[in-house]
A and B are shown apart, each in its own frame.
Chain A
Amino acid sequence: MKGRMISPGKAEGQAIVSPEPIGFYGGIDIKTGIVIEKGHPLEGKSVKDKILVFPCGKGSTVGSYVIYGIKKNGVAPAGIINKETETIVATGVILAGIPCIDQIDIGKIKSGDSIVIDADNSEVKIKK
C-alpha cells in the first residue's frame, strides 16, 4: 500500500491495531509503553517494538513529548501507520525518529499481521 511519508526510516514488526484514536498524554505509560487509557480498545497492551496502527491522534499536545519519551525509554513502537497523521503525532514521531506513514487504508490491517514499513518510499507491506 502506498501512503505519505511523515517520518523517514524502515521498520518491521507485528501490527497492533486500534480502531479508535490514541491520545498519548495520559493514554500511554511513558516508562512501560503500555496503553493505560480506561476503556481504550488497546488498554493493558504494550506498543513496544510493534507497528502501531490507528486512525489519528487526539488530546493534549504534550502527547508529542510522550512519543519522544517512550522512544528514549526504549518502549516505543517500531513504526506507526495512520489514516491521517495530525500535528501532535507528526511532531512526536519526527522528533523521536520513529518511521511513520499516513494516508493508508488501515481497515486492511489486522492485529498480529506482520508488517514492513518503508517510510522512505512511502510504502507499507503486509506479510500474512
Chain B
Amino acid sequence: MHLTKEEEKTLKGENGEVMERLFRLLVRLGEIYGADKMIPVGSVQVAGVSYKSIGDPGTEFLEDMASKGAKVKVLTYLNPAGMDLENWKEYGFPADFAKNQLRIMDAFKKMGIVVTSTCTPYLAGNLPRFREHIAWSESSAVSFSNSVIGARTNREGGPSALAAAICGVTPNYGLHLWEKRQPTVKVDVDFDLNYNSDFGALGYFVGKQIKNKIPYFTGIKSANTDQLKALGAAMAASGAVALYHVEGLTPEADLVEKKGLETISVGKKEIKETYGKLNTGKEPDIVIFGCPHASLREISALADRLDGKRLKKPVWICTSRMIKEAAERMGYNEIITKAGGTIVADTCMVVSPIEKMGYKTTGVNSGKAANYLPGFCKQEVCFANIDDLVEGQL
C-alpha cells in the first residue's frame, strides 16, 4: 500500500503510541483487503457503544484510549447506547448497567466524539454528501448512506471506525471503489408495498436469499426514506447487504451496470410467508417501534394512532435525542405519553437489556428487530404493521 511521508512517520511512532497503533490497524486492514492507499473520510460513526455489547473489555479499552489523549479529527457520532442516557432510571434500566454505560459515554466524550447515540446519524446532524468517503459502523446506517445517499463506506467494526476517526483516513478498498458498487443480483418485486413493515419483510426475505450480494431492485414504485431505511436495515440484518440500488429511486441506480444479472422474484407469496416466519410469539408483552431509530414522521404516525386512546400494555418508540426534541415541540411526546406510551432516546430494543426487564414477547414492525430479538434479547416476536400492533395494545 502506498503511504505518504507523513503516514510513514506515524507508523514509525513519531506521532505518538496511540496514533501508531491505530494507524497500524488501518494499514493492516487495508493490506488484508487489498487497499492501494489511505483516503480522507468526511465523517465517522462508531459502533460498540452499548455496555451490553462490549462489556468490561471494551469499556476498559475506551477509557485507556481516552486517558492516553486520543482525539478525533472528523465529525464522529455514536451508535445507540444500552439505555436512555437521561431517563434511564424512570424507564427501569438497571443501575449497575447504567453506571458502566455512563463510563463508556464519558470516554467517548473525552475523545471529542459527539455523544449522540443513534443508528440514524443522517437524521440527527451527521449527513454525508453523494460520493463522500466516510467510515461508518452500524449496518443499517451503512446501508442507508451507501444506498439512499450514495456516500461510500465499508461496514466498519468498532475499533476500525475509532481508528478512522482519530487518524482521519480509511483504507481505500471495497465500497469506496466504484467498480465494487455494481449490482450482483437483480430483484424483481411484484407486490404493492404499503406499510413500513412490508419493506422490512421484503428486506428480510431478500437478505436471507442473497447474503452479501448487491441487489438491484425493480418494481418498487415509490418509497420514502423511512421505508428505504426499513428495507436496508432488514437486508443488513438477515444478510450482510451494505449497498442496494432501486430503479428510479436511489442515486446510483441509473449509473451502475445492470446487464446479465441473475434474477430473483419476490411476490405476495414470499412476503406473506416472511410475515409468518418472523412471528414466533402469540401476544406481545410490549410493542417497540423505532428500529432503526424513528424519524419525526414515524413518531407523528404513532401519535396519530394514540391520540385520545389509553394503552393497556406498553408501547415504546425509540429514536435519537434530536428527533425526540422535535417531537416534544410538536406535542407528539405528550400525546404518546398521555396514552401510556414511552419515547425512549439514545438506545434501542436490540442493545438494551429488555430481557432483564421482564419482557418475553415483543411486537415489532421492523424486519431487523425481528431478526435480532430472539438471539440477543431472548424474545419471542410478533411481527406486524403499526395499525395491528397498536390495536393489540389498546
Contact = CB atoms under 8 A, between A and B. Distances in A.
Interface string B30-71: 001000000000000000100001111110110010000000
B159 A95 contact: yes
Contacts of B25: 90-91, 94-95
Given A25-B57, A30-B57, A69-B60, A61 B21 contact: no
Query: DSSP majority for the A interface?
Result: helix
A7 interface: yes
B56 A30 contact: yes
Interface residues of A, number: 21
A94 B21 contact: yes
Interface residue tally on B, bucketed by range? 20 to 34
A69 B28 contact: no
Interface in B325-371: none
Contact of A62 (B29, B54, B64): B54
B208 interface: no
B24 interface: yes
Contact of B55 (A8, A62, A90, A94): A62
B160 interface: yes
A62 B159 CA distance: 10
Contacts of A8: 24
Most buried by B among A72, A85, A95, A97: A95
Nearest to A84: B32
B62 to A, nearest CB: 9
Contacts of B55: 25, 62, 65
Nearest to B59: A65
A6 interface: yes
Given A62-B55, A87-B29, A94 B61 contact: no
B61 A61 contact: no
Contacts of B160: 87, 91
B158 interface: yes
Contacts of B61: 65, 68-69, 95
A101 interface: no
What are the nearest 8 A-B pairs in CB distance? A65-B57, A69-B57, A65-B58, A94-B25, A66-B57, A65-B61, A91-B159, A61-B157
